[in-house]
Amino acid sequence: MKFTLSWLRTHLDTEQTLDALCAALNRVGLEVEGVENRGAALAPFRTARILSAEQHPNADRLRVCRVDTGLGEPVQVVCGAPNARAGISVIFAPPGTHIPGLDITIKSGEIRGEKSDGMLCSLRELGLGTEHDGIAELPDNTTPGQSYSNYAGLDDPVIEVAITPNRGDALSVRGIARDLAAAGMGHLRPWLAETVEGLFPSPVRWENRFPEACPWMLGRTVRGVRNGPSPSWLQERLLAVGLRPISALVDITNFFAFDLGRPLHVFDAGKIAGDALVIRRGDGETLRALDGKDRVADAEDCVIADAAGVQSLAGLMGGEATGCTAETTDVFVECALFDPVRIALSGRRHGISSDARQRFERGVDQALPVAALEAATRMIQELCGGEASEVVSAGAEPEWRRDAKLRFSRIRDLGGLDVPPDEAVRALEHLGFAVRTRDEASVTVAVPSWRNDIAAPVVLAPRPAGDAAQHSDTLADAVESVRAVEPEADLIEEVLRLRGLDSVPPVPLPSLSPVPLPSFTARQTRNAVARRVLASRGLAECIGFSFTARDNAARFGDTPDSLRLLNPIAADLDQMRPTPLATLAEAAARNLARGQQAPALFEIGAGFDQTGQRTVAAGLRIGHAPRHPGRAPAPASLWDAKADLLAVLAALGVPAEALSVTADAPDHYHPGRSGVVRQGPKIVLGRFGELHPALVSAMDLGGPAVAFELFLDAVADGKKRRKAAPNLSPLQPVRRDFAFLVGRDVTAEAVLRAARGADRALIAGVSLFDVYEGEKLEPGMRSLAIEVVFQPRDQTLTEAQLEAASARVVAAVGKATGAVLR
């Protein structure tokens, strides 16, 4: 919100300085964002008159001028302007003045042997124009010695304040003046609109078919007007706040939008088709707005239409077809109330950010339309002439009147300041609140019409009768408390604002715990751990779209129509991906096509299926590892993918003993070289393996390609308990190898699990180190070799104890899998 100091003083009777007013605005919550004061830089410049201008004796293009500065004896100035001559009024800069247009500071001196005590200036040198043909010439009747900034009206600072969304009343010069007057910075000047007598019935009437969007509208016709440029005082005010003067009729409506916060609109009555303006919903019609853009009004838009169609987007912008021009002689002045929410939504849909929208969506004074229409009519007659019709209206003034209660003790409880009750009541009265009742503990006030931000009390439902009343007492008391607190908090804010927001003591929020609570949720922590582990294992992170081409998504899972995009950003991005592996494979293919030999990528992102969305950590390795001296490059294998997956699970605290691997990976994996990692029989944590050869060929992935997918949402949150110190034994472990003959249908996992359970107190670890299938074994059989680590705790194992423990391992494995010792 911008306004000039002189404009503010039309509503505020004050002798306070600009700095004091700005400080007060900041104190009451209207933050000053900037002050533009062109007059401050031009303060040294004075009006003057050239008494004589003689040719310089030593320079053809210079003149020696005697100048009356109005400040004493004439001074001598050497000037090179071609229009420097006796008798003209000019702008004089005394020595020591900074010239903003040249960025220099002048001083007394001699020019070609002649003394010069100052400078005669052009507007360009003052930074006020572009002309450079000579010095500026002022009117002949200009009195020497005046401050030029004051003479030219440049000493009127422009103040810009930030307005919070709840303070629609502060989007007016009068509203800001009201706050400053209440803060003790002056007195609010009385304002009363003089009634204009209607001399004839208005040929244009209102018809309201959309009362939900526009509860009340007023208007009147003014005929016989002369539309032309507005007077200089009005143009200067509009220019100061960033508005371009257009014509007197349009400038008047813009003036009242800033002066009173009351948007208005004028229609050229001669261009209105029919005898009525209709408030209704849009119907898909196209309107050429005043900004020259075409906009289509739909059923959610409130429009003003005549018999020819839509002529205005109500509360946002008028249309070109009924706009006022220099030929306009009859106008219809519109003054209406519009629903703030509908205005805001329509403004967003159409991309309109007008001064009218800014005010309507924050709420305007609901009792002002009658007075505003009279004031606008009076100014139209003063500036453009004409005679006014009777006022026509539709709808009625809304029931805005409401009361709010303030308990004096709550100012201290909620605001932290001890404000005497008399001071609190006086502050509210200065802001326009009228006292209804008052006692020692509280005051009830009537909320003024311009304060839409002061909340209406909560309506308390009647208490039920009978047994239910017993259960409603607590709820009723709670609602009664809310009923008072919501508007009461608004009143407390008003009292504190006038005391000064900078006087409210800062109070830290109560500490919930001596130790700061974690800032990450369990899900965020899992994602961060997985990201760190995978990056440390040499995989580069990708961030891809959550959608891909339908045919690509089909390679990695189902593609139901429910997951197809109706309006994709590109034709080949029309399906939600079943797994991040789908987009990783595309990224890897692009890297391979550009010469990257062994891409290793991962992504933590969303995968989608018919059950919903889940977070997946997916990784992909392709090709051979980099070559090193003395070592052949190794191709990526399913064991690499499994190791990546298990490393993340280990970092997330999932015990390896709780995991099992089954051979039922989905179709995008190699059927014999893949697996599914489970925790228990039902929980699937992930899957890994080589990608299916057909998929590798279809996507041009080249050499061996292995991948894994870890379902992070399936990983249980770790228990929040302190871990005990590890129970390390001082005795050396003993390692024994066992080779078992088993059927090919027996998994290594089953053998490892059985061996681990043979003696949990003594066995510290079991691992597989060899698998053999060959002609030396019977058909259908294979050899699995495992290493078992025995860790004694109390004493060194004897040979007999070691043999007994080994026998228990053989027996447990044989019983569980049918294996025999090789």
Give the residue numbers of the binding site: 453, 490, 493-494
Contacts of 537 (CB under 8 A, 6+ apart): 643, 644, 647
Q: Cα 281 vs. chain centroid, distance in angstroms?
A: 30
Q: How far is it, in rounded angstroms, from Cα 446 to Cα 448?
A: 6
For residues 808 and 29, what is the distance between their CA atoms, to the nearest angstrom? 81
Distance of CA 243 to the CA centre of its chain: 26
- Cβ atoms of 261 and 364 within 8 Å: the answer is yes
C-alpha to C-alpha distances, 531 to 642, 652, 674, 758, nearest whole angstrom: 16, 11, 23, 37
Contact between residue 44 and residue 97 where contact means Cβ atoms under 8 Å apart: yes
The answer to whether 136 and 122 have CB atoms below 8 angstroms apart is yes
CA–CA distances in Å: residue 203 to residues 222, 276, 373, 575: 10, 8, 17, 59
CB atoms inside a 10 Å sphere around CB 154? 20
What single string gives the DSSP state of each residue in 88-138? -EEEEE-TT-EETTTTEE---EEETTEEE-SEE--TTTTTS----SS---B
In one-letter notation, the amino acid at residue 530 is A
Alpha helices in 732-793 (DSSP H): 748-756
d(CA 140, CA 385): 33
For tokens 């507005």, what's the residue? 230
CB 400 within 8 A of CB 366: yes
> How many Å apart are CA 231 and CA 672, to the nearest integer?
90
Biggest alpha carbon–alpha carbon distance for the chain: 131
Q: How many Cβ atoms from other residues are within 10 Å of residue 582's Cβ?
A: 25
Return the amino acid letter for 340: P
Contacts for 319-322: CB closer than 8 Å, 24+ residues apart: 319/287, 319/288, 319/289, 319/290, 320/288, 320/289, 320/290, 320/292, 321/271, 321/288, 322/267, 322/268, 322/271, 322/272
Nearest Cα neighbor of 346 from 334, 356, 332 is 356
Q: How far is CA 679 from the centre of its chain?
A: 43
* Contact (CB, 8 A) for 434 and 425: no
Helix extents (H) in 507-627: 522-536, 550-554, 581-593
Q: Which distant-in-sequence residues (6+ apart) come within 8 Å of 6 by Cβ?
A: 156
Partnered with residue 330 across adjacent β-strands are 223
Please give the structure tokens belonging to residue 362. Answer: 């924050």
DSSP lists the bridge partners of residue 790 as 734, 763
- Angle between the 18-27 and 173-182 helix axes, to the nearest 10 degrees? 90
CA distance 276 to 204: 5
Three-state SS for 724? coil
Distances (CA, A) of 295 to 84, 298, 594: 56, 10, 47
Cα dist from 701 to 530, 550, 580, 639, whole Å: 25, 19, 16, 19
Give the C-alpha separation, 525 to 712, whole Å. 11
Q: Which parts are annotated binding residues for Mg(2+)?
A: 453, 490, 493-494
CA 127 to mean position of chain CA atoms: 37
Long-range CB pairs of 480-483 (<8 Å, 24+ gap) are 482/458, 483/457, 483/458, 483/459
The two tokens of residue 479 are 């609602």
